[in-house]
Structure 1
């Protein structure tokens, strides 16, 4: 059974991506679910895939359900469409759009096909994470919990202003300079 590995880039920043592995016999609904899980998004909004080319132009649509909008060609449905049936090139690309109000866009690219299944993994699964994912509904955990940990570790609340005027020297640095010049005079 073929295992397909896709790299899923967040369109806004290609340094942020997730690699997911999925069986070729699984459907686009499974791919939809693992992408949302990999980026820590909920599953409450409309979603669609578009088959794409190397220039990231939208092709045939594969939707979660048929939406009330004009289609040139009836879309395929995610639950009925096997991923392997839509792979036409060695580096097949798809565009994934989630939440049509926010238009979260992800660029999905096939990066590897393997014949060997890893018995330790349950497919579909996320196999690599790179960068900090965008937050679906605004700010996310990095500010909250992590900032509190940093404040506790370094006791940031006890630190004073820490800023002086430019060119201002402290008394201790002036004393060091004076003692340094005396030592230099006695050395001769």
Structure 2
């Protein structure tokens, strides 16, 4: 069978590619198809992430084994598409180039019979031009978490902080040591 994917770049503009690939191909093959479809040079690593229907990221599947023990961590080459994605489990996240964090939403759109004479993977459709740089991702706190210290509000004020002034350390023998 042939899996047909829509691969959407996480960007303000609509930028996506439709890719057809054989169900027995690996996630590494899909990685290569995405890299080629979006015009990357392929010199940077990437990872797929399993996710739920709301695109909440779960397990990482890297291009290379980055585990402490060689061979312990499964990589993209270890997973065929039909073991990760089905007509019920249709979504996966792909991140390319961890310095620029090109992020893609990959969704299985159809499962069809292969067409004779077509070489897979196959770029079916391309929409939108790649921006010069990736979308800025906010990795800070959510709005409700902006005040990190709010939960620690107390009754201390500047006068209370006087107990931590230098006077308490003047007689300390630490002043005579060279700490460099």
Unaligned 5+ runs, structure 2 = 135-180
Deviation at 1:48?
Answer: 0.1
1:27-56 CA-partner distances (Å, limit 9, x unpaired): 011000000100000111110000111211
The DSSP-based 3-state class of the residue aligned with 1:13 is coil
- TM-score normalised per structure 2: 0.67
Equivalent pairs counted in the alignment come to 131
4+ residue runs over 6 A deviation? none
- TM-score normalised per structure 1: 0.64
CA contact (8 A) 1:39 1:134 kept: no
**Equivalent residue, structure 2, for 1:90:** 88
CA contact (8 A) 2:13 2:128 kept: no
Deviation at 1:91?
Answer: 5.5
Larger radius of gyration: 1
Q: Closer, same or farther in 2 for the Cα pair 1:13/1:90, shift >3 Å?
A: farther
The DSSP-based 3-state class of the residue aligned with 2:6 is strand
Q: How does 1:1-188 map to 2 (within 5 A)?
A: 2-13=1-12, 15-67=14-66, 75-90=73-88, 92-114=90-112, 116-135=113-132
1:83-113 CA-partner distances (Å, limit 9, x unpaired): 1001244361111001111111011001111
Instruction: Give the number of the structure whose residues are more often helix, by fraction.
Output: 1
Aligned counterparts of 1:109 and 1:13: Cα–Cα separation in 2: 18
